[in-house]
Chains A and B, each alone.
Chain A
């Protein structure tokens, strides 16, 4: 056995490679019992470079046992265990050099330096975490406020809707009663009816605009339009950026007024995500052309109310959609919704729009590639909010559809820090945000070297 000198005046004797916690099992000059109890051997067989115990416990300081492990104290840094196959293999594993006592490897004790560096890093991390956590609290408050606002908006609208619904119903009854005697006025009013039809179309258009404007910035962008694959022109199942731009008359984004020129291009294929019943579009469905002054007036009123109703519904649905996302246990990720973050690398500009999509665009021109649309949180069981998964991106040649994993780490700023493609068509984005900063524990940042004693 050997003596181990720790970085303190106290000197403790124990066989090489034994941690302090197991010292009591290795008593000099007393028979040693394998830690699994399988056999007892004389003490001179401990660390004699021959494996006697099945569990490897008789050779804590040599490479003789295939399943052994070696403990290094690493005074000034962190103590650790290494597989005993790394003892005297010519490679310095323990910063205190104790693993290479007979291999000729020239190891330097780097524990102090490592300890210092680690403390620096921890210090820095702690600062970031602290500030990040404060920011997070702020985010949570904001989110709560926003949520309440939205919730009350929804409630308000639900009330309004109810009133409207009732009005429509009353009017409809009135209209139906009035309809009977006025059939002969049909011809006269056909032309006027056309105006109502246009009104209806406008209502549908407005509904579509609201639905398409995912991030509610008052503009429908090319990428927002791309989410509606049914608008695909060449029927290959995907609406490319070029195709979408074509539909938008070459514009990158359109506001409500310019959307009017886009609507005719898409209205035949456009499929609302809002189901008919939900939007209560039934009030717009009228198989018969109405006639007669009274009926016509009533119909006009119904349509106008209907339009209002639809607006409410569409706004409601966007809000509900937003409310349906899992923005974290304290809604701390809410602020990421409808935002986009970019990182420019050597060749590409990467764009991460959380809860929406990830894309890549060549720096010097060329079309955008979809690297995946929002899938789910996919972190480990204990904290699923550490990873985001985006999938079903553009297909790869002879390969899978592109997908992206976003790895979230605590940071003061919300920023994409790196992108990579570890496997063909599987991307990895590293992203910092205060939203994942944990409450700083009251960590003791002083050196570890007293831990052993």
Chain B
């Protein structure tokens, strides 16, 4: 929700400054650093490609079952590094580089990998004076270590897949003592270190200090940098690659742009007030994963570092018209981070699905949300009081619009003291929650990580007494301004603190809370209104580590601790639902994310697609944008179009700024109310498909919504498409995102494939650009020929009410007259699907005029009341009879209708239980 315009804040506490700020309409870029203003980025970027000063000392090679190590030396300063190479199960290579003997330990990111990756034997194939060839196993994959200059190449047969340091941009700033303030002790340590750094000639080269190495000032904020320079950089070359994706979060195109003439893409979790579109500025979250794709291969680079990071992308074909060039296409990527170590995972694919599996094996998969979380959410900053909540809830029933969740923003708490309720606006929270429960609906209340410094506030006092706050550089509790005024920031990197935080969600601790109340973590970048770049000072301390080291990880920990709390309060039974604004690699394990404080503008509606697709590629499937746009007031047309688009995005929530006029779905006249109702109903009908996709995402790591190229990796025409996408692999959505649009042009991929308009069943051939006239009610969605999708066409007022309703199967036939799909059912809210194998997973297939349902998980058990009410076969022919054959071999004839103009066959009421084995035979 919360927009921390510096000005807004000043207005609250320093009225005199108001006038200076009122005019700010979009992001104030000067609040945020460019690479030039970030000392380490500037230093690193000044280093140009060339011969690397690093040399591998092949005689230091140590080989064990799980890894090899060898030392690198920088011939300029004689500092030695330790290189570790791992071959990981599932076709991945891990490269770690750290100082051989750092002055003090350097930060290695914990808690992101789900476990120690399983290694496989890395064997030496050959070795000579200047190189070492290691086998990566099957398919002639080799890892070649070149000694001078140091470089790594991963090859497959004659083909180079990726090269590291081929442009000589490996740069590792070693920790050093400050020259002017060396104590005797430090000098002694330094002496020891220097021995390590002395080369054979015994020469020591001292490096010159550069500006910003020991102190850096941005605007009025000074970063004391007690540890001096510590940044790292490494380059990767990807021959044959023209398309790279990922490294969210940026409000930019799906396909990453060349950054040669601009700033690099920045990864530094920041609370950006009224962000702008199409630039590489950092936003609320960061996932340092880059995916490369060509018709030959899909690969990924996962740069495991939680410090401020910049990513340069350079492509030799960018912006050029490809004439017959002797130069093969290539994309170069360079990563720069402020501290920590180089720890990079190269995911070798080769197919998109392989990269998803590989990344999931490292950081885990999407958490499987309770079904209700996939339904529609109604939010606003703020629903004023209990009466307001009640009347909005009634409004949905009066207008017959389904919804599952109503949300409360920061104003619900007593003086922004989270875990409490405003006593005058929400005097009886349980009564309110019970009222929603009676309608089988739910509520989300916000819990932000900034804690009001107030000795009358229990949460603050406990954190204080347990010494859980982040410390400032001088060791006192770090304090900053946020919504409540002066605030402390709990140290979420501390596991004891997280356990304590989780315990606060217990029903007896969180007064007024009930089991249909879930949580939203906002402002967890963390947002500090009066901090540098609206976040925490980098020299603040989390135990022994600087905030600099852990920054991008903070938000992940907040969401993790909160999600743990929700699981614990139910005794480990219920699946949690927590929404977060800040995130990092691995955040997919804890819940949903949204794209932050967007605006009611067509451009923001459009960008929501590539933003969520990028997140999906980087493992985070449960993504959405504020429907309607957070800031500003949407026109009725924009609002309707946004509902239509949002209904087909994973996280579907309307939200609005406190200063905008009310915009509940029925406030724009009966016609628009009907359009919004229809969009939301389409979402509810399709919930079984979304649920099944999330189950699969949870099992496999495949994104729920996908760019077209993921399913059509050889079709170059799909590589830059970002105005349409696939839900799973069977639905293609091209939402209308232009004002006054009368038509859209959708690309339907797949040579020889067919697609069916889900609303009209009209058939279209694949591999064509289709011109589609649209009206205000149009949501262009197509079902792939060859697929079977299960829907619940009886839409009710919340998803819980539809729990036991029957399914309708939509089988869209391909040109061979066949189709297949899945159906997944469980209790929709507990972990029993995992712990007790209580679920139904069916494979549905149609071929040779026979449709059958087969059990995909014979060892699972679950009974459902749901049955099959209707089967719609699209693109089929008229049979003379249809027979249903049950598991016990009993047979019955089914009635059917056939629409010959559209070739749609509707089988009436098979009536079989959704969990049963059955076959329908058409003759």
- List residues of chain B with CB within 8 A of the CB of A3: none
Judging by beta carbons under 8 Å apart, are B797 and A85 in contact? yes
* Interface positions of A from 331 to 357, Cβ below 8 Å from B: 346
Judging by beta carbons under 8 Å apart, are A397 and B662 in contact? no
Q: A64-B869, A90-B801, A397-B22 are in contact. Are A346 and B659 (CB under 8 A)?
A: no
**Across the two chains, which residue of chain B brings its CB closest to A85?**
B796
Judging by beta carbons under 8 Å apart, are B797 and A422 in contact? no
- List residues of chain B with CB within 8 A of the CB of A91: 438-440, 797, 801
Q: Which of B400, B658, B794, B800 contacts A63 (CB 8 A)?
A: B794
Judging by beta carbons under 8 Å apart, are B384 and A422 in contact? yes
**Across the two chains, which residue of chain B brings its CB closest to A89?**
B801
Judging by beta carbons under 8 Å apart, are B869 and A346 in contact? no
| Residue-wise interface mask of B (880-918) relative to A, using a CB-CB cutoff of 8 A (1 in contact, 0 not) | 000000000000000000000000000011000000000
- List residues of chain A with CB within 8 A of the CB of B18: 397
B408 within 8 A of A: no
Q: Which of B424, B795, B909 contacts A50 (CB 8 A)?
A: B909
Judging by beta carbons under 8 Å apart, are B384 and A421 in contact? yes
* Interface positions of A from 216 to 249, Cβ below 8 Å from B: none
Interface centre among A50, A89, A397, A426 (most CB of B within 10 A): A89
| Residue-wise interface mask of A (45-69) relative to B, using a CB-CB cutoff of 8 A (1 in contact, 0 not) | 0001110000000000001101000
A423 within 8 A of B: yes
B805 within 8 A of A: yes
Judging by beta carbons under 8 Å apart, are B388 and A422 in contact? yes
**Across the two chains, which residue of chain A brings its CB closest to B400?**
A83
Complex alpha-carbon distance, A48 and B661, angstroms: 46
Judging by beta carbons under 8 Å apart, are A85 and B384 in contact? no
B11 within 8 A of A: yes
Q: A85-B794, A86-B796, A423-B661 are in contact. Are A397 and B11 (CB under 8 A)?
A: yes
Judging by beta carbons under 8 Å apart, are A50 and B659 in contact? no
A181 within 8 A of B: no
- List residues of chain B with CB within 8 A of the CB of A398: 22, 659
**Across the two chains, which residue of chain A brings its CB closest to B439?**
A91
- List residues of chain A with CB within 8 A of the CB of B801: 85, 89-91
A148 to chain B, nearest CB (A): 44
| Residue-wise interface mask of A (389-419) relative to B, using a CB-CB cutoff of 8 A (1 in contact, 0 not) | 0000000111110000000000000000000
Judging by beta carbons under 8 Å apart, are A50 and B794 in contact? no
- List residues of chain A with CB within 8 A of the CB of B805: 63
Judging by beta carbons under 8 Å apart, are B661 and A426 in contact? yes
Complex alpha-carbon distance, A95 and B646, angstroms: 36
- List residues of chain B with CB within 8 A of the CB of A396: 659
Complex alpha-carbon distance, A48 and B895, angstroms: 14
- List residues of chain A with CB within 8 A of the CB of B661: 400, 423-424, 426
**Across the two chains, which residue of chain B brings its CB closest to A93?**
B397
Judging by beta carbons under 8 Å apart, are B869 and A50 in contact? yes
A to B contact number (C-beta, < 8 Å): 61
- List residues of chain B with CB within 8 A of the CB of A421: 384
Judging by beta carbons under 8 Å apart, are B384 and A50 in contact? no
- Dominant secondary structure of chain B at its interface with chain A: loop
* Interface positions of A from 347 to 404, Cβ below 8 Å from B: 396-400
Complex alpha-carbon distance, A86 and B18, angstroms: 51
Complex alpha-carbon distance, A50 and B793, angstroms: 12
A265 within 8 A of B: no
- List residues of chain A with CB within 8 A of the CB of B802: 89
B183 within 8 A of A: no
| Residue-wise interface mask of B (633-671) relative to A, using a CB-CB cutoff of 8 A (1 in contact, 0 not) | 000000000000000000000000011111000000000
A420 within 8 A of B: yes
Complex alpha-carbon distance, A49 and B806, angstroms: 10
* Interface positions of B from 405 to 446, Cβ below 8 Å from A: 424, 438-440
Q: A63-B805, A64-B869, A90-B801 are in contact. Are A424 and B659 (CB under 8 A)?
A: yes
Judging by beta carbons under 8 Å apart, are A346 and B424 in contact? yes
**Across the two chains, which residue of chain B brings its CB closest to A399?**
B659
**Across the two chains, which residue of chain A brings its CB closest to B633?**
A400
Q: A63-B805, A85-B794, A86-B796 are in contact. Are A424 and B909 (CB under 8 A)?
A: no
Judging by beta carbons under 8 Å apart, are A50 and B22 in contact? no
Judging by beta carbons under 8 Å apart, are B662 and A66 in contact? no
Interface centre among B388, B658, B660, B796 (most CB of A within 10 A): B796
- List residues of chain A with CB within 8 A of the CB of B440: 89-91
Judging by beta carbons under 8 Å apart, are A86 and B797 in contact? yes
B674 to chain A, nearest CB (A): 13
* Interface positions of B from 368 to 425, Cβ below 8 Å from A: 384, 388, 400, 424
**Across the two chains, which residue of chain A brings its CB closest to B5?**
A398
Judging by beta carbons under 8 Å apart, are A90 and B800 in contact? yes
Complex alpha-carbon distance, A90 and B400, angstroms: 16
**Across the two chains, which residue of chain B brings its CB closest to A65?**
B794
**Across the two chains, which residue of chain B brings its CB closest to A347?**
B424
Q: A50-B908, A91-B439 are in contact. Are A66 and B795 (CB under 8 A)?
A: yes
Judging by beta carbons under 8 Å apart, are B22 and A89 in contact? no
- List residues of chain B with CB within 8 A of the CB of A426: 661-662
A88 to chain B, nearest CB (A): 9
- List residues of chain B with CB within 8 A of the CB of A86: 796-797
* Interface positions of A from 89 to 131, Cβ below 8 Å from B: 89-91
- List residues of chain A with CB within 8 A of the CB of B796: 63, 85-86, 89
**Across the two chains, which residue of chain A brings its CB closest to B870?**
A50
Complex alpha-carbon distance, A89 and B439, angstroms: 9
| Residue-wise interface mask of A (416-453) relative to B, using a CB-CB cutoff of 8 A (1 in contact, 0 not) | 00001111111000000000000000000000000000
Complex alpha-carbon distance, A268 and B658, angstroms: 42
Judging by beta carbons under 8 Å apart, are A66 and B793 in contact? yes
Complex alpha-carbon distance, A85 and B801, angstroms: 9
- List residues of chain A with CB within 8 A of the CB of B794: 63-64, 66, 85
- List residues of chain B with CB within 8 A of the CB of A397: 11, 18, 22, 659
Judging by beta carbons under 8 Å apart, are A424 and B660 in contact? yes
Complex alpha-carbon distance, A399 and B794, angstroms: 42
A344 to chain B, nearest CB (A): 14
- List residues of chain A with CB within 8 A of the CB of B384: 420-422
Judging by beta carbons under 8 Å apart, are A422 and B662 in contact? yes
- List residues of chain B with CB within 8 A of the CB of A49: 869
**Across the two chains, which residue of chain A brings its CB closest to B387?**
A420
Complex alpha-carbon distance, A83 and B402, angstroms: 12
Complex alpha-carbon distance, A397 and B12, angstroms: 11
A331 to chain B, nearest CB (A): 34
**Across the two chains, which residue of chain A brings its CB closest to B908?**
A50
Interface centre among B11, B384, B439, B659 (most CB of A within 10 A): B659
- List residues of chain B with CB within 8 A of the CB of A420: 384
**Across the two chains, which residue of chain B brings its CB closest to A420?**
B384
A398 to chain B, nearest CB (A): 6
- List residues of chain A with CB within 8 A of the CB of B662: 422-423, 426
B872 to chain A, nearest CB (A): 13
Complex alpha-carbon distance, A289 and B478, angstroms: 79
| Residue-wise interface mask of B (790-810) relative to A, using a CB-CB cutoff of 8 A (1 in contact, 0 not) | 000111110011100100000
**Across the two chains, which residue of chain A brings its CB closest to B381?**
A424
B537 to chain A, nearest CB (A): 29
| Residue-wise interface mask of B (835-869) relative to A, using a CB-CB cutoff of 8 A (1 in contact, 0 not) | 00000000000000000000000000000000001
- List residues of chain A with CB within 8 A of the CB of B909: 48, 50
B826 to chain A, nearest CB (A): 18
Complex alpha-carbon distance, A63 and B796, angstroms: 9
**Across the two chains, which residue of chain A brings its CB closest to B793?**
A66
- List residues of chain B with CB within 8 A of the CB of A63: 794, 796, 805
Complex alpha-carbon distance, A200 and B801, angstroms: 80
A429 to chain B, nearest CB (A): 15
- Excluding A66-B793, A400-B661, A423-B660, 16 further A-B contacts by CB distance (< 8 Å) are A50-B909, A63-B796, A63-B805, A83-B400, A85-B400, A85-B797, A86-B796, A89-B802, A90-B440, A396-B659, A397-B11, A398-B22, A420-B384, A422-B384, A423-B662, A424-B660
Cβ contacts A to B, 6 pairs, < 8 Å: A64-B869, A66-B795, A86-B797, A398-B22, A422-B662, A423-B660
8 closest residue pairs by CB, A with B: A89-B801, A423-B662, A399-B659, A85-B796, A50-B909, A424-B659, A89-B796, A423-B661
Residues of chain B at the chain A interface (Cβ within 8 Å): 11, 18, 22, 384, 388, 400, 424, 438-440, 658-662, 793-797, 800-802, 805, 869-870, 908-909
